[in-house]
Amino acid sequence: MSEAALKQSAIRVLPNASGFGAEITGVDLSRPLDAASVEAVKAAWVKHGVVWFPDQPLTHDQLEAFTQQIGPFGYDPFIKPMEGRPHILELRREAGETARNFGAGWHSDWSFQPEPPSATILHSKVTPPVGGDTLYADCFAAYEALSPVMQKMIDGLVAIHSAALPYGTKGLFAHEQAGANDRTMQIIVSPEADKTFPHPLVRSHPVSGRKALYVSPVYTVGIEGMTPEESKAVLGFLYNHMTQEKFVYRHKWRENMLTMWDNRSTLHYADGGYDGHLRVMHRTTVAGDRPR
């Protein structure tokens, strides 16, 4: 949809001052969107990295239907889905839970897959009165802020991704399950998580063509051809660089808000701070392609 056509439609896109992140209104996600509206939503999502739709009470069927208008479902491993809903994960933390909040580490969802999801869609059902923000990092801006010398050095490098740290047989959740565990969500620890898969450290977005850093401390375990010490030095610098405050947007949730982000150009981090309060979110993913 052109800028002129968008201005004539009911859809309104209100970006953050930085251009990273935008609110979308004037659309009812409980009903099928027409082709022009789908195009407008996708364009805003690619341009702004993170988009959110306030005041969208949705049933499971409606959440699934909206997801499929963006694209086919992605594959979500290592977490038991909702009963009868294989494509919806319920991210639930009860008021009395003491386990670490799920997603508390910078990552791009399922980057260890051969074809990681393009989008993650999260719909808030119960929001606590305090805490529970989600932080997003702009990996386009982080790459573009690097010096030409650093860009040249890392362009062409291949990063190794794995789910071993959180979901592997010796990972964080395996240790959690071995001890006292009051987590409501059912995490599936598996030897499959110990596998590795290579992706470009700098990936080009398949729609916009912009380059973005594509590494994270949760799922990146090294750089192909480098020693562990060399990988640690390069990756450590990049992690500190890309999660600087100037690249980060802190998202405040409200009940019945739907948020969709682009895993190809962002990292995210689930903040805590809501101990003693129930928080319930429903999540789907949209299939993606192989990073290039």
What pLDDT, on a 0 to 100 scale, did the predictor assign at position 1? 44
- Residues 97-151 pLDDT 10s: 998 899 999 999 999 999 999 999 999 999 999 999 999 999 999 999 999 999 9
Residue 46 is assigned to a structural domain of this protein: yes
CA pair distance 216, 109, nearest whole angstrom = 10
Name the nearest CA neighbour of 67 among 123, 24, 112: 123
Residue 234 is assigned to a structural domain of this protein: yes
Averaged pLDDT for residues 192-214: 98
Give one word for 209, left, alpha or beta, with left for phi > 0 and alpha for psi -120 to 50.
left
- The model carries a pTM of 0.95
Paired residues of 198 in beta bridges: 160
The H or E element containing residue 119 is strand 119-126
Question: Mean pLDDT in the chain?
Answer: 95
Give the position of tokens 């594959």: 75
The H or E element containing residue 174 is helix 172-178
Q: Given a cut of 50, is residue 2 above it in pLDDT?
A: no
The number of CA neighbours under 13 Å toward the Cβ of 278 is: 6
Sheet containing 196-200, strands listed edge to edge, beginning at the edge strand earlier in sequence: 196-200, 158-162, 220-223
139 within 8 A of 213, measured Cβ to Cβ: yes
Residue 35 is assigned to a structural domain of this protein: yes
What pLDDT, on a 0 to 100 scale, did the predictor assign at position 4? 46
Coil, helix or strand at residue 288: coil
Sheet containing 12-15, strands listed edge to edge, beginning at the edge strand earlier in sequence: 12-15, 22-25, 50-53, 258-262, 119-126, 279-286, 89-93
What pLDDT, on a 0 to 100 scale, did the predictor assign at position 9? 64
CA pair distance 31, 42, nearest whole angstrom = 17
CA pair distance 252, 232, nearest whole angstrom = 32
Residue 291 is assigned to a structural domain of this protein: no
Coil, helix or strand at residue 55: coil
Domain range enclosing 107:
3-286
What pLDDT, on a 0 to 100 scale, did the predictor assign at position 8? 46
Residue 292 is assigned to a structural domain of this protein: no
Residue 216 is assigned to a structural domain of this protein: yes
What pLDDT, on a 0 to 100 scale, did the predictor assign at position 180? 54
Q: Given a cut of 80, is residue 179 above it in pLDDT?
A: no
Domain count, the chain: 1
Residue 119 is assigned to a structural domain of this protein: yes
Name the nearest CA neighbour of 163 among 118, 221, 211: 221
Q: What is the CATH number of the domain that holds 172?
A: 3.60.130.10
Averaged pLDDT for residues 180-187: 84
Residue 232 is assigned to a structural domain of this protein: yes
- Residues 26-64 pLDDT 10s: 999 999 999 999 999 999 999 999 999 999 999 999 999
